[in-house]
Chain A
Amino acid sequence: MNSAADAMLVLVLLLNFFVLGSSRIRSIIYTVAAQGVLLGILPVLVHGELGVRETIVSVGAIALKAVFIPRMLMRAMADLPIRREIEPLVGFRLSLLLGAAGTGISLALAARLPTAGTTGAQLLVPASFATILTGFIVLTTRVKAITQVLGYLVLENGIFIFGLLLLKAMPFLVEVGVLLDLFVAIFVMGIMINHISREFSSISTERLSALKE
């Protein structure tokens, strides 16, 4: 029905796998930025018109997700003594398998949800779930604080895709909720990175476990 949007969503899903399978932080930042561009185009495609609301969401999403935050992360990479490799807790192959399983579950689930098929794009709900799950996998299986930020970003991307469903019904909530939420998460993690780099001279969240109790 809305094949352009669906094609975009397939690309988003593919980028998810790239995030899971890549071993270099820089390439993941580029991937997430690319995902941000795709998401920025999506509102216009899904709703098939270029109203004020869609424009705001599109431009805002691209500016934040594809330009501002990746630049911030790149600067963090340059300024701080962060090693370029990912330190996964489980292997890349297992991560990919988990991601595939998550995508499968999402597809199966979306078919049973009452929201499915209410808008043009068929893949909207499953892609959203799959992206959220991918974000979760990155969050749970990667060690460094900077990869945590990337995990949060992917997670927020998934929520953003889901929010597109609501853009007509609750526009204000989507605009403020998604962008602000993202903003807050990034800033929190940014502060965290600064703290860690200064006080622990390490960017690994494993050290945070010293704070337990």
Chain B
Amino acid sequence: MTGLILILLAACLLAASGVPGLFAPGRAGWSERVAAGAMVLAGVFGLGGALFAGVGADASMEVAWGLPWGRFEVALDPVTRAFLLPVFLVPALGSVYGLGYWKQRENPGTGRRLRLFYGLMPAAMAMILISRDGVLFLLAWEVMALSAFFLVVTEDDRPEAREAGWVYFVATHVGTLSLFAMFVVMRQATGSFSLIPIEASGASAAVSNAVFVLAAIGFGLKAGLMPLHVWLPGAHANAPSHVSAVLSGVMLNMGIYGLIRMSGLWPTPPTWWGATLLGAGAVSAVVGIAYAIGQDDVKRLLAYSSIENMGIIAIGLGLALIGRATGQSEWAALGLGGAILHAWNHSLFKPLLFFGAGSVLHGTGTRRMDQLGGLAGRMPRTAVLFVIGSVAICALPPLNGFVSELLIYLGLFRTVTGGGVQWPAAAAPALGLAGGLAAAAFAKLCGTVFLGQPRSELSMRAHESTPIMLVPMAVLAVLCVALGIYPAAGAPLIDQAVGMWWSGAGPASPSILTMAPLGWLPLTSVALLGAGVGAYMVLRRAMKPGASPRPGTWDCGYAAPTRRMQYTGSSFSQTLVSLFSWALWPRVRRTKVRGLFPGSGRYRSEVPDAVLDRTVLPGVRIAADFLGWMRLLQQGQIQVYVLYVLLTVLVLFASMYMV
């Protein structure tokens, strides 16, 4: 109960954090400090309420509200708690980062609006997580979705930002529509809008399957699982970086949370539910990261990498659902445990990377990799923090990404030996492929941005960010390392969440500590770090400073290299992009090279999103042509619109009269 009150208090504080600023004059700096202070305070309250207060049957409350439908019913249980932690951590850090990144003094037109919605969105997300009633859930869901829309279009003077905002707006409303339908169908099964477990006999197979399909569409759109990811790259790339960090690190989790919450209501779901998630996850992981490799825009690359990570989480969740369907508690524990841990990890390293990308954007003014380069010397602190985040996201030990993928791997391997169905193991190669491609993508990103020589004037004039932007990044980096070296610290929280999810399905689920060698990880991590440091020392001694001139990273061994001879991002990824051209459909324009002494040529390649640009947008255009006559209804006169209302009322009256 205390925990809930603290969390509600934190949510109120978050929602109100941007309000005082609305009354401040345009260039006053105090309003942004007030907002950031309120958000940090809310983060402390919320984390305290989530971590140190009790969870369980008594941690719920219901407040009477005057609305005719739904109830204000909130509760704190282990699953909710697991997802609450990033909601309170990342936006608080982001608001501090924003003090340097989006100064009110420099953005008098957009700063106040940005901060209002920057507080409102996490408040709505906290409400989503603690609500136990469909109506309350949908209200909070809409507040979150709309706040995110206003955050994405912060720079509404830029056409790309407006377009990304509209795509997001349409996508999120399709998702919400699907969730409305889901709750209505659920009500057929349970008789109320409450999120309560469904009896084995309570729902027919058709109703259950309908709920799952609607949930998969609604929550899948939010999580950005392929092919429902259309809104994600544009929105992440065009929002301010600390907004992208929250969108990617926290908001995508809401889709995952919804899937976990809904699937936990059925005691024995059909196997195909899990198989669907497993398949969608595998496709998202591999194709998502393949798209990331082809990108030239730093933030678009990170956005596609988010799709990959959501895919990995979906693989874990799919495995857990298959385990639930076939009564294998170990699969569920490893799959769901890995999924939750990976959601945490993604909430740590992805905001770190987006903050880093924002720092680069702030220091240089461009997001295009082919204009960057050589920033390691000019922005050393950002570079170190960014590399830590990159190592973590590539799932390399000893950082945290490795641990969560290890759990999912172990779960997938167990399907081969554990008896029962064996085909889920087929996701393991996909996971491995995605991991390898992720390493390639981030080698490209770090290599192009931070190593080599500057590729343009912009990156030559780069400057390091202020400490107020670096400290939040450092906090996230430290957490990444800590969770990577000592993951057992998070195990109790995860075990409780898995236990609660599994509770309706059979006897207690085993702890992940008994199945995964998490206790050994600190030892191996220390050994790895020691080996790394040792190798560095040996190399350093062998190289003897001053013996030879230090070559640039991408100078290809030429005697007198110029900047234009360097590898670019596109040339680095060219092999992989052409290998995956069956999925990516890259757009290449080049001039043919003819003769012994050819004239100057041009080469240009880009990888637009195949689903959005080749499927959804043409489809929408055809629909617009087809539905053009409906514009007759839109006359632009208030009287006509009121007439529509009147006619509707009269038709309703008439239908009542007929009955």
Closest to B644 in A: A140
Interface presence of B649 (CB below 8 A): yes
**Interface pair A136/B649, CB less than 8 Å apart:** yes
A141 to chain B: which residues have CB within 8 Å? 639
Q: B635 is contacted by which of A105, A108, A136, A209 (Cβ under 8 Å)?
A: A209
Q: A140 is contacted by which of B66, B643, B653, B657 (Cβ under 8 Å)?
A: B643
**Interface pair B656/A112, CB less than 8 Å apart:** yes
Do A136 and B642 form a contact, CB below 8 Å, given A112-B657, A211-B636? yes
Interface presence of B637 (CB below 8 A): yes
A209 to chain B: which residues have CB within 8 Å? 635-637
B636 to chain A: which residues have CB within 8 Å? 208-213
Closest to B642 in A: A139
**Interface pair B638/A208, CB less than 8 Å apart:** yes
Closest to A141 in B: B639
A112 to chain B: which residues have CB within 8 Å? 656-657
Interface presence of A72 (CB below 8 A): no
Q: How far is the CB of B65 from chain A (nearest CB, A)?
A: 10
Interface presence of A176 (CB below 8 A): yes
Interface presence of B24 (CB below 8 A): no
**Interface pair B66/A205, CB less than 8 Å apart:** no
A10 to chain B: which residues have CB within 8 Å? none
The B interface, classified by DSSP as helix, strand, loop or mixed, is: helix
Report the contact-size class of chain A (Cβ under 8 Å from the partner): 20 to 34
B68 to chain A: which residues have CB within 8 Å? 173
Q: How far is the CB of B237 from chain A (nearest CB, A)?
A: 28
**Interface pair B642/A105, CB less than 8 Å apart:** no
Q: How far is the CB of B373 from chain A (nearest CB, A)?
A: 45
**Interface pair B639/A109, CB less than 8 Å apart:** no
List CB contacts (< 8 Å) of A188-213 with chain B: 205-206, 208-213
A184 to B645, CA, bound (A): 19
Do A89 and B646 form a contact, CB below 8 Å, given A105-B653, A109-B657, A212-B634? no
Interface presence of A52 (CB below 8 A): no
Closest to A112 in B: B657
Q: How far is the CB of A190 from chain B (nearest CB, A)?
A: 15
A105 to chain B: which residues have CB within 8 Å? 650, 653
A1 to chain B: which residues have CB within 8 Å? none
Interface presence of A58 (CB below 8 A): no
Q: How far is the CB of B165 from chain A (nearest CB, A)?
A: 17
**Interface pair B646/A136, CB less than 8 Å apart:** yes
Do A140 and B646 form a contact, CB below 8 Å, given A112-B657, A173-B66, A176-B66? yes
List CB contacts (< 8 Å) of B619-659 with chain A: 634-640, 642-643, 645-646, 649-650, 653, 656-657
A105 to B66, CA, bound (A): 32
Q: How far is the CB of A71 from chain B (nearest CB, A)?
A: 24
Q: How far is the CB of A93 from chain B (nearest CB, A)?
A: 19
Q: 0/1 per residue, B353-394, Cβ < 8 Å to A?
A: 000000000000000000000000000000000000000000
Chain B interface (Cβ within 8 Å of chain A)? 66, 68, 634-640, 642-643, 645-646, 649-650, 653, 656-657
Interface contacts beyond A105-B650, A205-B637: sample of 16 additional A-B pairs, CB < 8 Å, sorted by A: A109-B656, A113-B656, A132-B649, A136-B645, A136-B646, A139-B642, A139-B646, A140-B643, A143-B639, A170-B66, A172-B66, A176-B66, A208-B636, A209-B637, A210-B636, A212-B634
Q: Which 9 A-B pairs rank lowest in CB-CB distance, beginning with the nearest? A: A212-B636, A209-B636, A136-B646, A139-B642, A140-B643, A140-B639, A205-B638, A140-B642, A209-B637
Chain A interface (Cβ within 8 Å of chain B)? 89, 105, 108-109, 112-113, 129, 132-133, 136-137, 139-143, 148, 151, 170, 172-173, 176, 205-206, 208-213
Question: What are some 24 contacts across the A-B interface (CB < 8 A)?
Answer: A108-B657, A109-B653, A109-B656, A129-B653, A132-B649, A136-B642, A136-B645, A137-B646, A139-B642, A139-B646, A140-B642, A140-B646, A142-B639, A173-B66, A173-B68, A176-B66, A205-B637, A205-B638, A206-B637, A208-B637, A208-B638, A209-B635, A209-B636, A213-B634
